[in-house]
Amino acid sequence: MMGGPGYVTRSENSRQFVAETGRMGYSLRMDSRGFDRDDANWNFRARHETETQRLDRNWNGLLQELRVVQTGVQLLTGFLLTLPFQQRFEDLTDGEVAIYLATVALSVTSTMLLVAPAGLHRMLFRRHALRELVAASHRLAMCGIATLGLALIGVVALIFSFVLSPLAGAVAAAAALAMFSGLGIFAAILQSRHRPPENGDAPTTDDAASAR
């Protein structure tokens, strides 16, 4: 594979990979910082990326996902913050007010969690902590998405309770929770079915293409 301006050859990637991971073997091993060497080895064989290149790709992908989610959570938070200034807000029962306040708290918390990776990136700028940044931002994003899901369930409960009845609100909230949980379970099943080979063999071309 020829290298050109702005590119590195596979042999150069191999040397960089050894420098970053410390080995070319395929053993299942975690270092002191929780770095999965087996995952890095598989990634190198499938994508021909060094660990730094993989982290750059993971970080850019995470930013794209956060942009999508942040738009929704910001619209939801803005909508919730305007409700107390509406005339019919006084018609809410005490239980519906409690649901509203809990939903606002969840929505604001979700906004903070999803914005936190940007602040974390600023704090770790030029400190050569990309691996820690990606790992921490991943956890923040997962917590933010989970909190956003709970906020959406609260919105569903509030609207159905106000328009129909408290019972309808409870049923709608339970249905939304089941749907949200079902999507998580479905994603976990898909992940388990598309795990990389555990026998140490390099993945096939089809495996590598499906992993992209």
In tens, the pLDDT along 36-70 reads 556 666 666 666 667 777 777 777 788 888 888 88
CA 31 to chain centre: 24
* pLDDT tens figures, 69-102: 888 888 999 889 898 898 888 888 899 999 999 9
Nearest to 156 by CA among 137, 180, 124, 126: 180
What is the residue extent of each domain of the chain? 8-22+29-49, 60-193
Rounded (10°) CA dihedral 153, 157, 160, 163: -130
pTM of this prediction exceeds 0.85:
no
**Cα–Cα distance measured from residue 15 to residue 86, given in angstroms and rounded to the nearest whole number:** 64
Give tens-digit pLDDT for 133-162: 788 888 888 899 899 999 999 999 999 999
Please state, in angstroms and rounded to a whole number, the distance separating the CA atoms of residues 122 and 3: 33
Unique residue bearing structure tokens 């997962």? 142
User: What's the confidence (pLDDT) of residue 22?
Assistant: 47
